[in-house]
Amino acid sequence: MNRSFMMTDGEWKYIWYEVLFHILEDPNEVSNLAHKNLEKRLEYRNKLIDILAAHEQDPLTKT
């Protein structure tokens, strides 16, 4: 089973495999902004890593 990890703060949604949506402006999650907004992507990637580390989850583990 493959896992997918994501986080949201109500304004942005980041999905582990480099997907970033500005959900206030794009509620249907159509435009992936990960490659257009590197700073925001890295910010949310690091936040997600911290959350997963706190719960001893490894986003690279497939099971």
Structural domain boundaries in the chain: 6-54
- Check residue 27 and give its pLDDT: 96
CA–centroid distance for 21 within its chain: 9
pLDDT in tens, the chain (63 residues): 467 789 999 999 999 888 999 999 999 999 999 999 999 999 999 999 888 888 876 666 654
Are the C-beta atoms of 5 and 60 separated by less than 8 Å? no
Distance CA 23, CA 27 (A): 5
Pairing status of strand 19-22 against strand 6-8: unpaired
- Residue 1's pLDDT is 45
User: What is the spatial distance between Cα 50 and Cα 32, in angstroms, rounded to a whole number?
Assistant: 22
Q: pTM for the whole thing? A: 0.77
